[in-house]
């Protein structure tokens, strides 16, 4: 038998976690991130595929993606 390491956190509801279990820094980061998320429908085309490909393909030499 192989043992795995796990990090487990009991959570009953998001509301309980966000007000009782998490610290103020986690709440602030979650609120800040929520404001920057934009969700929209786009057609599946070459532009979308190239964008996803650029996110998932590792860059050689650790340079910035263009």
Residue 6 tokens read as: 């796990």
- Burial (0-12, 13-18, 19+ Cβ within 10 Å), 1: exposed
- The predicted pLDDT at position 57 comes to 66
pTM above 0.85, yes or no: no
Question: 19-57: per-residue pLDDT in tens?
Answer: 888 888 888 888 888 787 777 888 999 999 988 888 876
66 pLDDT exceeds 70?
no
């Amino acid at each position: 038998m192989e043992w795995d390491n796990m990090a487990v956190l009991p959570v009953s509801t998001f509301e309980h976690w966000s007000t009782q279990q998490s610290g103020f820094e986690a709440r602030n980061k979650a609120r800040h991130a929520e404001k920057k998320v934009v969700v929209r429908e786009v057609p599946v085309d070459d532009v979308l595929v190239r964008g996803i490909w650029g996110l998932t393909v590792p860059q050689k030499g650790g340079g910035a993606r263009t």
